[in-house]
Chains A and B, each alone.
Chain A
């Protein structure tokens, strides 16, 4: 059995990743669903997961100064490259937990403490088992938490014999996006026909060159600016990247979101749903 992994990503935020993913999960029947947007997750709003298990995520460490042992020498303050120590207090927001201060302190007054940065969850949903997570507010190291979500999703595959993992990725092209795309079969890039969408598409396509993942493109709300859509089509053609879907602007998509359902579940015959179905068939042919 060959497990396939599809990551839905976008570069630019708000292009419709989660709406596309929820629709694809509906069309796929049952699959393992992984929400890798761990700092601003929203897929659970549509899928209403019943949490089966929760694990603590300790993503990083935090320096802590024992005031009783501190000799006020300032060495730590000068050694810290993140400017995280001032007046012998550690700023938890700036501290990266590298441990240089603890090493340099002649009094042994500084220690590194693990910080609870969030939780990873395994849940059951009406569309299949789900691996997801929540990074706590103002915490760091989302890439590592994404890797845990991906690992948990693969474990779910082993347990359930399902053959498909659908991954909802975060926006951007940084650490958590790289962690979401690495080792997948297809990166499905959802873009929109705006100048920002086009610019961001070019940047995320640069990224796939580094990761060796096959990219496919969906143009969402293609009819809000047909000229830009044409530019995207031509750009993709030049780059030899396939466009598998063109989804029209359709207020039903927002209505479905408000109803907390995928647009396919909410209104299977609307224009957006039909376009999602066509796109999904095209994706299936590519895997």
Chain B
């Protein structure tokens, strides 16, 4: 199998990203890597039941000020674009949650009063579920920045096979970090005004990032037809339609990937993968 990175994104939350990503991974015969990049609310492991072999802390370097060396010149505070360090007349205040770990304050301090120390913001977990090698992250509740955890996860993309990336909802920083470097992105949408609206935003993102993409319409049968009209007008391939069926919803609610109870769908997901991979590996 050729090296291929396929990400699954949606714009709107709850359209079925995890359902599509998990079922596609399960439908493959060969080993596949699965990165759940929704580190705020990772859910893929609930369906894959991996055996976790490793839990690694993720750190971000934040400044630590030695006030005995500091002359309170204020240069660090002026430099920091993120307002993570402030100098008041005789004190330096660090706001670690705002720090992006760029190291600028440490570089700029003329008195060498700033060192960096690691602060843990979450973990990544590595495990195996049959042929699926799973990596997912968990940000500590209260931490605002998922970026460093996503970047750490993505370091585990191994060459020599397929990688499936489950992206978080939305279209901002964490989504960009997740889909960055993908060969192809599957947009999972639903035939409702909300699904369509957020799909358009995601299309805009992917066009700017020059990542090829196609659509999977989930809960087909509810809502209206506008999402299909849009795809046709924009020349976006509709790769798969998953009908709204109570059995599928119930399986999801129990943490069961629906291809495991509706076997005919396994083939549809593996051909979804083949169509995408075939287009890239040619």
Where the two chains meet, the residues of A that have a C-beta atom closer than 8 Å to any C-beta of B are 10-15, 18, 37-40, 42, 45, 60-61, 79, 81-82, 93-94, 96-100, 103-104, 112, 135, 137-143, 170-178, 192-197, 199-200, 203-204, 206-207, 209-211, 224-225, 228, 251, 254, 257-258, 260
Contacts and interface: CB of A to CB of B under 8 A. Distances in A.
Interface of B: 11-15, 18, 38, 40-41, 43, 46, 79, 81-82, 100-104, 107-108, 139, 141-146, 168-176, 180, 192-194, 197-198, 201, 204-205, 208-209, 222-224, 246, 249-250, 252-255
A118 B214 CA distance: 26
B102 A171 contact: no
Given A14-B15, A100-B104, A196-B46, A40 B41 contact: no
A171 B169 contact: yes
A260 B172 contact: no
Contact of A45 (B107, B180, B197, B255): B197
A37 B171 CA distance: 10
A180 B217 CA distance: 30
A84 B165 CA distance: 21
Contacts of B222: 251, 254
Given A142-B172, A199-B46, A174 B15 contact: no
A174 B146 contact: yes
A225 B11 contact: no
A39 B38 CA distance: 16
A207 B255 CA distance: 24
Contacts of A15: 13-14
Nearest to B144: A175
Contact of B102 (A100, A175, A177): A100
B170 A172 contact: yes
Nearest to B45: A199
Given A18-B194, A137-B205, A138-B209, A98 B81 contact: yes
A94 to B, nearest CB: 8
Contacts of A14: 12-15, 169
B45 to A, nearest CB: 9
Count chain B CB atoms within 10 A of each CB in A14, A81, A211 and give the residue with the most. Answer: A14
Contacts of B192: 254, 257-258
